[in-house]
Chains A and B, each alone.
Chain A
Amino acid sequence: AQKVTQAQTEISVVEKEDVTLDCVYETRDTTYYLFWYKQPPSGELVFLIRRNSFDEQNEISGRYSWNFQKSTSSFNFTITASQVVDSAVYFCALSEGFFTGANSKLTFGKGITLSVRP
């Protein structure tokens, strides 16, 4: 069965600090997809990034970067020069079931609450 572990529960940083959110996953599938979502205090779930299991190229998008390492089953997310608006709960999620196609659901980690203080 698929599982996503976000060992950090709460992180507090001061504005402009860099912060890395950890995610470790378990799956028996060879083809799967990983996602990060953000849930700001207003409550909506916002999609940030998707990565497939064949693509270990790390990505940078503005202040955000992602580090996918298949060897350690990790998909970590770094915010550079954090800002108060980054305060939110961040969820890592796994979607497997390539061969079951439309049946595949997202399994979420418990989330990491990030607080960025001014």
Chain B
Amino acid sequence: DSGVTQTPKHLITATGQRVTLRCSPRSGDLSVYWYQQSLDQGLQFLIHYYNGEERAKGNILERFSAQQFPDLHSELNLSSLELGDSALYFCASRSSYNSPLHFGNGTRLTVT
């Protein structure tokens, strides 16, 4: 158990809809990262938050947004969903810049 909690585990929704994925980092970790894993693109970095502030953005679409709350949990919002957004979305946290990322079990999103 990595200590990172992601909910829900599975999400099935229709094109055009909006969903919210939630992540609770390991206790004490201030950094939260979101990654998307799809068959063709592999593990792609989306966004990084540190203690409530956005620190870096990767290949994140404008339809996607995220935030980190004062209690350090994070949410990834995906809107105007398309079939191609179907993927496994991982949240990870770390305690410092050189420590490993500890990943949650992921949220599998299926857009139909």
Contacts and interface: CB of A to CB of B under 8 A. Distances in A.
Contacts of A109: 42
Interface residues of A, number: 26
B97 A101 contact: yes
Contact of A105 (B56, B88, B96, B102): B56
B95 to A, nearest CB: 10
Contacts of A27: none
A35 B94 CA distance: 13
B6 to A, nearest CB: 10
A89 B105 CA distance: 15
Interface stretch (A18-26, A45-53, A66-74, A80-88): A45-53
B10 to A, nearest CB: 11
A100 B48 CA distance: 13
A45 B98 CA distance: 18
A103 B45 contact: no
B64 interface: no
A77 interface: no
A50 B94 CA distance: 13
Nearest to B45: A105
B16 interface: no
Interface string A35-63: 10100000111110010100000000000
B58 A105 contact: yes
Contacts of B96: 102
A13 interface: no
Given A102-B55, A105-B58, A47 B42 contact: no
A105 B98 contact: no
Nearest to A49: B100
Contacts of A43: 88, 105-106, 108
A102 B99 CA distance: 10
A50 B104 CA distance: 18
